[in-house]
Each structure stands twice: as structure tokens, then as C-alpha cells.
Amino acid sequence: MPTDHADAGDGRDAGSGDDRRVDGEGTVIADGDGPSILVAGDTLVDLVPSRPGPVGPDTSFEPKFGGSAANAAVALERIGLPPLFWTRVARDDFGAFLADELAATSIPADLVTRDDGARTTLAVVTHDEGGEPTFGFRRERGADTRLEPGGVPDPVLERVSWVHTTGVTLSVEPSRTATLELMARASRLGCSVSLDPNARPEMWHSDEEFGAVVRGALEHVDVLKANPGDLAAAGIEADDPAALARAVTDRGPHTALLTLGGEGALARGTDASPVPGVARHPGYDVDVVDTTGAGDAFLAGALGALSAGVTDADRLLAVANAVGAVVTTRRGGTSALTGLDPVRALCGSVPWA
């Protein structure tokens, strides 16, 4: 696969100090006060309809920056925690759009690879009247499927404390092997590893494959963020959210974060977790326009709280739910998340600011 490092931005790193060093290929190897979180995974285009409900002759679609990992990375940047971001972006017109969107953020460009042989994956989004999205994917030769093992060097992992991954890149090769290799290596080097299984049946050959891969990955996962549907698809079920969270932590992760839609969220941590015990938060009453990216934003808020040393699960959920709620108030995965003020309006102060 012919590739090179991203050339769409200036490679700036708003979170880095003056002692930033790179190797001969431009990869960050030391970053002083640089990012403590690395996000790995998919960047794609969401084609978002102009109105909710069934598609009709008067429906138009607008391209929006998207992808499970990309939404989480940009959400972190919007709340003042720009991460490192390992992803691939095609050189077609949609890829240029995505590269420009990334270049407009303070996310470092060091681990963003442009892929000459790929196309941009498209997610065609439709909604019901309540704003709940359904996705149809156009993914052949998608750049998000072509992550390669070893794409994040050990010196980079040694500079971060958190690595977040997504089930989207676990669905096909070579990205599956690349993601699993990164998770194992990050865990071995002392990073905390989080995973959002993000069940998308149309991306997988079968539910059985999805379940086997996700369950197998849990040995390297510290924090699992999921909804009950994700876990059911992975073959992990229980009678209620608290029991479901325990079923997760019984499989290896020390922390389970369950998003429950209109019923808020639940956290369960073992004694090894930074947030031990069980907590539940009801969420916030906002005018929901589009829930696309809400789970990714919730995850960003949770990682922000954990990386800032939060040890109270109630506080973690209050912050994570606030970040997730804000993004539902406009169309697109991160459009409404313009900074910390709308988050503070819901949950008060945030622990990293």
C-alpha cells in the first residue's frame, strides 16, 4: 500500500511543549507536555440527511466528519484534550474533506497517514423521528480498513497513558490485526487500554465473528465502554445493567461503562479500577436533534475524567453524560461540541480544566 504521512495540515500540536522531538520520519518520540491519550481507528464521512424520518425526494444529504474513533478524537480536542490520532485517510475528494477537517483542529498530524490506494468509507445516515440513527456503509477499499501493524512506534506509546480503540477497525483485515497488535503492545508497555465495541453488523461476516473477536480482545482491555446492544451482539448478556456491567468486568476489564440511551449511564469498577464500585447517572434533559456520535463523546468525557485522576464514579458519569448530551443537540457527530461552556452548563466544573 503506497502511503505517506499527512500533508493536509501543518502538524501543529497545541498540547506540546518546546521539547517536542520527532524521529527521521516525522513521528513524535518525545513530547514534553504533549497528549496523554492516543486514539486509534476509523475516520470516514457521514452523509447526514437534512431531516429525520424516512428518506424521500426532498431529502438531501450533507457530508459530515465522522467515524467512531475520529468522533472520539475530535470530541477530546473540543473539550481541551487534543489526543494523538492514528488513522488513515484516502486521497479522494472525500478524503481531502476529512484531511481539511483534521487540519482545522489542534490534533497532531504525526500519525495521520494518507493512503493513495484507498477510498473513503461512507456511512449513509438515516434517522427515526426521535433522532436515532441507522447507518449503511460503503466501505470497499476504505482507508479505515487498511491500518497496518506497527503503525504506532513503541516510543510513542511510552509517552501516553491511555490508548483508545474501536470495534470498527476490528471488523476486517489488516486493520483487525493492527488494532489487536496495538492493544497488546500498549498493555505490555503500561498504557491503559479502552475499547468501544461499536457493533455494526453490516461490517462483519457474522455476529459470531464479532463476538469471538471482541471477547478475545478483552484480555488487553482495562475500560470497556458499550451499550447493551453491543454486548448482546458480543454474546455478553444479563438481566439488568448492573449485572451486565459485572459480566463485562468478570471477563477482564477493570471498568465497565454502559450507555443506556434515555436512561443515562452506569459504571462498574473492580477493586483494580480507578473508580471502584457501582454508580448510575440519569443523564440530562436536552433537545435531541441527532444522536450520532453521542457514545463517542461520552467516551471522550470519561477518558478526560479518568486521565485527570477522577476516582468518583458518580463524578465520572456526570461529566461523560454531559459531553455526550451536548453533541445530540445538533446534526453531525461533533458539530455541537464547540468547547467546554455547554458541558459546564450541564455538569458544572470539569476535572481537567
* Structural domain span for residue 76: 10-41+68-87+107-112+146-347
pLDDT at 26 over 50: no
Is 139 contained in some domain? Answer: no
Element (H, E) at 321: helix 313-327
pLDDT at 23 over 60: no
- The total domain count for the chain is 1
pLDDT at 25 over 70: no
Tens of pLDDT, residues 53-102? 777 888 899 898 999 999 999 999 999 999 999 999 999 999 999 999 99
Q: What is the CATH number of the domain that holds 248?
A: 3.40.1190.20
Dist. CA 251–CA 263, nearest whole Å: 25
* 270-277 average pLDDT score: 98
| pLDDT at 69 (0 to 100) | 96
Beta carbons of 351 and 309 less than 8 angstroms apart: yes
Is 166 contained in some domain? Answer: yes
Is 21 contained in some domain? Answer: yes
| pLDDT at 31 (0 to 100) | 41
Asked whether the bond before 253 is cis by omega within 30 degrees of 0, the reply is no
Is 2 contained in some domain? Answer: no
Is 47 contained in some domain? Answer: no
pLDDT at 8 over 80: no
Mean pLDDT score of the chain: 88
Q: What percent of the residues of the chain are helix, what percent strand, and what percent coil, each to the nearest 5?
A: 35, 20, 45
Is 307 contained in some domain? Answer: yes
Q: Position 128: which residue type?
A: D
Is 101 contained in some domain? Answer: no
Is 159 contained in some domain? Answer: yes
Beta carbons of 174 and 146 less than 8 angstroms apart: yes
Beta carbons of 108 and 81 less than 8 angstroms apart: no
Dist. CA 49–CA 150, nearest whole Å: 37
Kindly report the pTM of this predicted structure: 0.87
Which stretch of 100-114, 209-223, 248-262, 278-292 has the lowest confidence by average pLDDT? 278-292
pLDDT > 70 in the chain, percent: 88
C-alpha cell at 105: 483542529
